[in-house]
Amino acid sequence: MSITDTTAIPTIGHWIDGAPRASHSGRTAPVFNPATGVQQARVALADQSEIDEAIASAQRGFETWSTYSVAKRQAVLFSFRELLNARNGELAEIITREHGKVLSDAMGEIARGQEVVELATGFAHFTKGAFNENVSTGIDVYSLKQPLGVVGVISPFNFPAMVPMWFFPVAIAAGNAVVLKPSEKDPSAALWMAELWKEAGLPDGVFTVLQGDKLAVDGLLTDPAVQSISFVGSTPIAKYIYETASQHGKRVQALGGAKNHMLVLPDADLDIVADQAINAGYGAAGERCMAISVVLAVEPVADELIEKITERISALRIGDGASHPEPQMGPLITAEHRAKVSGYVDIAEADGAKIVVDGRGFTAPGCEGGFFFGPTLIDEVPTTSRAYTEEIFGPVLEIVRVKSYDEGAALINSGQFGNGTAIFTNDGGAARRFQNEIQVGMIGINVPIPVPVAYHSFGGWKQSLFGDSKAYGVQGFEFFTREKAITSRWLDPATHGGIDLGFPQND
């Protein structure tokens, strides 16, 4: 990696009270262009006073925003939607520059986030209460759904726009104020979206960007003014987020890691399977919690499938995501993460797996300093190997040979994660068994990355989700509101029955 003269490197700050805010903490972290390995900025790491200031600003923003009418809130949301539609190319360029994914993939990320923005514009439907008239003589009972207050969103590096948009459109639509703590590895997308909210007419303080590290995270987890935490990241961090925030009385939706499988039955079209394995395994350089990382090949298809995948790997274009013509795969996020991915390939090899295509040591032409790792294909991975049981989060596709559907299903269900999985078959009966028997939160049938559309909710089972609520959809609105029940009676002096100390009865 290369670090240029730091005197010429800009510092990325916070967004507080509806405006950029420079940091005075004196602490920063480097921000690299992953395709070149050159440091292009540094991001501020908040101190406690800045954390307190951000949360206090959000509280003031909530007190204003929560009084806005439904019509006024919808107008702001629709304005944000239109601005995002018109200028999404700007955001895609920021994502590519700081994350490394190719521009078309960055545009796809924004499109999936935009689905949630569009869902949120219809928030009035999801935040309606209920009414029962005359439950007892002259008494009505009805319920209201009201916002929580200040809510925290802690997002990962791999989707700097989409993952925050899983949460903040719903939270804001419901009347809350959001404090977003983006990843320090690619922090600029959050600031761009903050500026867009300002242009859309959102009151100051309703959308705050707090740059930082663990100190900022812990500040959100423990501050009594923060009512809920939404998180996406690795399972150990998700568990820490859930336990710490819960101990401090907060609602939590913490989405963790994954080890997603693709079960391939002998009747599947192997050309389609190979295409989808490439897309799902190597898209975004494998830095997706929904990436397929294990292909369970029901014999006798493994050899033919490996041959088809290998052919396709050799034709992949890999390079700087901003170059022309656009490559199909970019770099990993940091040199440290590349070393971690390489270490898992070393583990698989030491445990007896066969390295069919080796991405270790790969260099993209013209990007010799970038954090590239070549597409890797590994056969005969032992299911006892850490390379099989743990999340790699890189462009590594593992083949595990199984003798039957039942053996493959048992392997999937025995794993610690339960995020997403897929089956490829032309057998409707097998597909139906799969959707009913597999113990994960999201199932694909001939679809390798089964991320639900915005009006269904996203989330896994087991060690892939901590907390009861999934992201977006109906569950998202339930998470960001709380119900209040009102029992009402308007007394008529002519029929008032006087004092009765007994428990109410229905005569």
Report how far apart, in Å, the C-alpha atoms of 30 and of each of 246, 367, 449 are.
Answer: 32, 19, 32
Residue 32's SS3 state is strand
Q: Which helix (H) or strand (E) holds 115?
A: helix 103-120
Interhelix angle 70-99/103-120, nearest 10 degrees: 170
Residue 231's SS3 state is strand
Non-local CB neighbours of 432 within 8 Å, separated by 6+ positions: none
Q: Is the peptide bond before 300 cis (omega within 30 degrees of 0)?
A: yes
Handedness of CA 468, 474, 480, 485 (dihedral sign): negative
Q: How far apart are CA 46 and CA 27, in angstroms?
A: 7
Pick the catalytic residue: 46, 226, 289, 387? 289
CA trace torsion 362, 367, 370, 374 (10° rounding): -20
Contact 371, 330 (CB under 8 A): no
Q: How far apart are CA 180 and CA 436, in angstroms?
A: 37
Q: Taking the CA of residue 359 as centre, how many other CA atoms within 13 Å lie in the half-sphere pointing to its CB?
A: 34
Query: SS in 3 state form for 275-324?
Result: HHHHHHHHHHHHCCCCCEEEEEEECCCHHHHHHHHHHHHHCCCECCCCCC
Q: How far apart are CA 466 and CA 506, in angstroms?
A: 43
DSSP 329: B
Q: Is 1 exposed, middle or buried (0-12, 13-18, 19+ CB in 10 A)?
A: middle
- % helix / strand / coil in the chain, to the nearest 5? 40, 25, 40
Interhelix angle 188-200/70-99, nearest 10 degrees: 150
In this structure, the strands spanning 207-209 and 177-181 are parallel
Tokens of 243: 């336990």
Q: How far apart are CA 308 and CA 185, in angstroms?
A: 35
Q: In the annotation, is 367 catalytic?
A: no
**Mind telling me the catalytic residues?**
289
